[in-house]
């Protein structure tokens, strides 16, 4: 099973990705985790990423694409994977399409978790309090949600037109949401 899990910040992508990965016996691939791993281990890709992050800049798509491509080629991804946090824009969709063609594989489904803005804001406020995350300020949250709406949400139409989109309500009990996703994936 090769899945993308998409949705705005705070919708529960990471939580559901972990449950789905366990259910299907495949790895979850979070671009944030990949960056942290490569930076921590001072890989060539990690050092290149640091040249941007150390200056407070976003890592460019070209490097993000290289890191994802490198990860998808690893042996543990042979039987499937879940991508969380990628693609985030139309350019990354094109890059992912090229990667999958080179790997002679296809995307099975795109799970879109949905929740109202008020729910998302409340969840991120709670996460900030529980985890002490400095990046979960009201201003940062609002900016991330705006960026999602502008750059990432339109990608759902692309995947819908390809017949890959599975939209699921991300509000409710975690286990029930997971069961709903698994049932929708067949």
Instruction: Please choose, from the candidates 58, 89, 61, 68, the residue with its C-alpha nearest in 3D space to the C-alpha of residue 158.
Output: 89
Strand partners, 19: none
CA 49 to chain CA centroid, nearest Å: 18
Numbered residues of the known binding site for AMP: 31, 36, 57-59, 85-88, 92, 133, 144
| Backbone phi, psi, residue 82, to 5° | -125, 120
Sign of the CA dihedral running 128, 145, 117, 168: negative
Residue 42 catalytic? no
User: The domain that contains 111 carries what CATH number?
Assistant: 3.40.50.300
pTM assigned to the model: 0.87
H-run or E-run covering 2:
strand 2-6
User: What are 124-175's pLDDT values in tens digits?
Assistant: 888 888 877 666 677 878 888 888 999 999 999 999 999 999 999 999 999 9
User: What are 48-81's pLDDT values in tens digits?
Assistant: 888 887 877 778 999 899 889 989 999 999 999 9
Q: Which of 74, 106, 133, 150 is catalytic?
A: 133
Residue 13 catalytic? yes
Based on the structure, what is the number of domains in the chain? Answer: 1
* Residue 134: domain span: 2-185
């Amino acid at each position: 099973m090769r899945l993308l899990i998409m949705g705005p910040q705070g919708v529960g992508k990471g939580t559901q990705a972990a449950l789905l990965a366990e259910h299907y016996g495949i790895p979850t691939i979070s671009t944030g985790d990949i960056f942290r791993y490569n930076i921590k281990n001072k890989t060539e890709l990690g050092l290149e990423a640091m040249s941007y992050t150390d200056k407070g800049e976003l890592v460019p798509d070209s490097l993000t694409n290289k890191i994802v491509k490198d990860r998808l080629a690893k042996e543990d991804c042979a039987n499937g994977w879940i991508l969380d946090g990628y693609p985030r824009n139309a350019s990354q969709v094109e890059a992912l399409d090229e990667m999958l063609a080179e790997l002679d594989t296809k995307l099975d489904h795109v799970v879109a978790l949905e929740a109202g803005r008020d729910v998302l804001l409340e969840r991120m406020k709670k996460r900030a309090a529980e985890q002490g995350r400095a990046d979960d300020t009201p201003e940062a949250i609002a900016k991330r949600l705006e960026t999602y709406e502008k750059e990432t949400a339109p990608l759902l139409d692309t995947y819908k037109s390809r017949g890959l989109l599975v939209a699921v309500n991300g509000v409710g009990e975690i286990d029930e949401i997971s069961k709903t996703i698994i049932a929708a994936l067949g």
